[in-house]
Structure 1
Amino acid sequence: MELQIGDPAPAFSLPDQSGTAISLESLKGQRVVIYFYPKDDTPGCTKEACNFRDQWGLFERHGIAVLGISKDGAASHEKFINKYDLPFTLLSDPEPCPVATAYGSYGLKKFMGREFMGMMRHTFVIDADGAIERIYRKVKAAEMADQILSDLGLS
């Protein structure tokens, strides 16, 4: 069943770019943006990450944590962070991608006539109590952070 606004956000604990486990529970009491993306250092994913980077000051000022989640490992995340000076956390959800699956963000994709299992570009805003506040399933990578801030009245 697809997650809906108001549902409790599925709990998780995943390793970050340095291998440290980060849990959603540890962030309770603050808003959290979780964005799922296909792959580090690819054109769309870079645009999305850089949009979050460029708006980081507003997220930080309002106490909003930003977590990017992909299948990539810690070393790939660390390179991506360093290359683009990303100030937020990237988490690894390796195949079979249990966290992305729990959020409905991993499944069958089509690209250039072939089908494969992959990470969907979806974004979720979790409120301070751990409930899903907003869901974005049709993401414009270069504008995602801007849209969230606007929708939350924080831009």
Structure 2
Amino acid sequence: MIVLFIVLGGLLWLISLLLFAFSAWASYKLMRLLWGKIRRALLRPGTAQITSYEVFTPDPEDIHVQDTRPQIRLELDCERHGQRFQVSLGPLTCEELFPALDLPAHHIACWLSDEDWRQLLEKRWVTIACDWRLRKAILTSQIRNDRRLLLISFLSLSLFALTVTLSLLPH
């Protein structure tokens, strides 16, 4: 009987150790994600010049493709504090690209000819934020979404802390 309690106690201890390790790993991943969102939300939007582009249409036979409209990959020339560097952006849909070009998004405009794409994108400036540490470009719409997410998270956490504090006060 004592051996059974020792074995069960050992199993419970092992399970609790595994749960602790998993929660530590999950907390680490969540904090990295949150730190990335905070860092992206603090980036300042600017402009970058399109140096090259690639327009491609996803294969409709591919089961993972949900949108068969053309997608665009951009190579950009960013400048930060007088230092220039190349970054990539994409693949983007037309709904993401046109607002970055300060143009209204329109579904028909996705189906431009090669010459029309060239006229639209060649030597054009796009509104983005350049993350010079990661050598990555981020759309300003993504930055706005990150800022909204952080604001909602902060307000939720503040409301939770206020609720806990008020529940601990003597009545």
TM-score after normalising by structure 1: 0.24
Structure with the largest fraction of helix = 2
Structure with more relative contact order (C-alpha pairs < 8 Å, separation 6 or more)? 1
Choose 1 or 2 for highest CA Rg: 2
TM-score by length of 2: 0.23
